[in-house]
């Protein structure tokens, strides 16, 4: 059974490989996505570590001079996706989007090289590139130096239509945008995707940033949507720390020092997002200075950073209290906004499970981590390699033959085998 799962997962990674980069799935997502790619490399490393490293190298070959690693690289034309390169109009040699995504690259690179030390020399240039991205986050997304960085578009969180964004997103207008045709709803059930109103706002923000010529140093203050996402900040902290450890082991002491300093800033500020009442971290609306009372998996994923052990224990208990058949729901069931089937408003995502389980295990919450891993593999066995899953029924939702789901399965199988 395990062998069958493993070969099915490898089959998906190979089928979605376009040579140097991997598409998240055929049709719905026909380009290279930033955090998809880095997490995909973790799956590829189980059968081809060289190829895994190319996945990250290709992403950083398209890094902007300011340091930003864009969220999409449009390697080849494909009009099956909206918004395509003509909407972004970023003026890059190979078209890219103009926003970013959760910075998992530092974490992924360390994990990859820990298992493939022979690739260290080849990977050395990536240390400076990823550090430049980490620096960029702090410089452009935390201009006041609070220690926590903001997203300026919900897509930057990777959790596009999370309930977390509902209130701050109201500030983004829907009027005045160019007419457009959505493509995502031709590939996936519209009831499982973001709404039209959300899409209008996604596009309004893109048009606003485009009107500022994608000057990334100007966009934070120009955006009506500025939110501190605990998951993105935890990922940034963890990547800084992992990259620092890797750099140190490779004799790159200055890079190690820079990343540790950035991580310390984040770690010192993260406790401001903790909610004792909810037993998890919350997002913060930077425009109002208020925490957002929305209990999403973003506040559980904060466990990916070295948070206090008592917070990790509370997060494990909060996940238990969801009491869903499958873990981890992307929004707390029985709270406002929960929708078991709609993208990031309730469904289970294996990449989030992976990072939560990893963080909880490091914090000594072994039982909780094991339960998440078991639940993830049960989902795959029941429902196949989907984009996301209903936490109550396990129904497969969104895209099929999904790359990062397959990659996470290879990671989970390895962890299960090791246990």
Catalytic residue positions, numbered: 160, 387
Q: Which residues contact 350 (CB under 8 A, 6 or more apart)?
A: 376, 379, 380, 404, 405, 408, 409, 412
- Whole-angstrom CA distances from 386 to 50, 83, 108, 170 are 26, 23, 22, 31
* Coil, helix or strand at residue 372: helix
Distance CA 405, CA 350 (A): 6
In the numeric block, which tokens belong to residue 288?
Answer: 């109002």
- In 181-311, where do the E strands start and end? 227-228, 274-275, 280-281, 284-285, 290-291
Distance CA 13, CA 294 (A): 34
Does 387 bind ligand DGY (CB under 6 A)? Our answer is no
Q: How far is the CB of 113 from ligand DGY (least distance, A)?
A: 27
Residues within window 176-205 making contact with ligand DGY, judged by CB under 6 A = 184
Name which of 70 and 230 has its Cβ closer to ligand DGY: 70
* Closer by beta carbon to ligand DGY, 71 or else 141: 71
Residue 47 or 82: which CB sits closer to ligand DGY?
82
* Least Å from the CB of residue 193 to ligand DGY: 8
Minimum distance of ligand DGY from residue 73's CB (angstroms) = 12
Instruction: Note the helical H segments in 29-151.
Output: 34-44, 49-60, 85-88, 105-115, 120-141
Q: Assess 71 for contact with ligand DGY (CB under 6 A).
A: yes
C-beta of 25 vs 318, nearer to ligand DGY: 25
Q: Which positions from 99 to 138 touch ligand DGY by CB under 6 A, shown as an x/- string?
A: ----------------------------------------
Q: How far is the CB of 155 from ligand DGY (least distance, A)?
A: 4
Interactions with ligand DGY, residue window 147-176 (CB under 6 A): 155, 160
Are 226 and 152 within 8 A, CB to CB?
Answer: yes
DSSP string, 231-254: HHHHHHHHHHHHHHHHHHHTT-HH
Number of residues that bind ligand DGY (CB under 6 A): 4
Which of 55/160 has CB closer to ligand DGY?
Answer: 160
- Shortest reach from residue 158's CB to ligand DGY, in Å: 7
Which residues bind to ligand DGY, rule: CB under 6 A? 71, 155, 160, 184
């Amino acid at each position: 059974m395990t062998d069958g799962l493993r070969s099915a997962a490898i089959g998906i990674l190979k089928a979605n490989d376009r040579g140097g980069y991997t598409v998240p799935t055929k049709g719905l997502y026909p380009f290279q996505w930033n955090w998809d790619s880095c997490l995909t490399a973790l799956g590829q490393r189980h059968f081809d570590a060289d190829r895994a490293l190319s996945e990250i190298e290709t992403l950083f070959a398209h890094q902007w001079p300011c340091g930003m690693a864009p969220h999409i690289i449009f390697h080849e034309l494909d009009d099956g996706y909206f918004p395509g390169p003509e909407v972004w109009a970023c003026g890059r040699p190979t078209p890219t989007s103009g926003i970013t995504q959760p910075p998992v690259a530092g974490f992924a690179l360390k994990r990859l090289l820990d298992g493939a030390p022979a690739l260290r020399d080849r990977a050395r240039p990536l240390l400076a590139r990823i550090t430049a991205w980490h620096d960029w986050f702090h410089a452009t997304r935390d201009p006041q130096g609070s220690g926590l960085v903001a997203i300026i578009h919900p897509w930057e969180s990777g959790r596009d239509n999370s309930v977390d964004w509902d209130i701050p997103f109201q500030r983004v207008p829907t009027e005045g945008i160019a007419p457009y045709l959505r493509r995502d709803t031709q590939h996936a059930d519209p009831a499982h995707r973001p709404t039209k109103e959300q899409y209008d706002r996604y596009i309004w923000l893109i048009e606003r940033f485009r009107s500022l010529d994608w000057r990334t140093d100007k966009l934070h203050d120009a955006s009506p949507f500025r939110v501190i996402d605990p998951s993105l900040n935890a990922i940034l902290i963890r990547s800084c720390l992992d990259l620092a450890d890797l750099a140190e082991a490779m004799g790159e002491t200055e890079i190690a020092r820079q990343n540790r300093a950035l991580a310390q800033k984040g770690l010192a500020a993260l406790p401001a997002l903790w909610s004792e009442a909810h037993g998890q971290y919350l997002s913060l609306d930077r425009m109002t200075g208020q925490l957002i009372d929305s209990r999403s998996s973003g506040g559980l994923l904060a466990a990916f950073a070295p948070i206090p052990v008592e917070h990790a224990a509370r997060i494990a208990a909060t996940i238990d209290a969801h009491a869903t058949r499958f873990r981890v729901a992307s929004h707390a069931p029985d709270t406002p906004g929960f929708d078991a089937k709609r993208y990031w408003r309730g469904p289970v995502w294996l990449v989030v499970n992976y990072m939560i389980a990893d963080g909880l295990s490091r914090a000594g919450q072994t039982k909780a981590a094991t339960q998440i891993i078991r639940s993830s593999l049960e989902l795959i066995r029941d429902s196949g390699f989907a984009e996301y899953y209903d936490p109550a029924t396990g129904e497969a939702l969104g895209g099929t033959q999904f790359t990062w789901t397959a990659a996470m399965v290879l990671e989970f199988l390895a962890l299960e085998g090791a246990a």
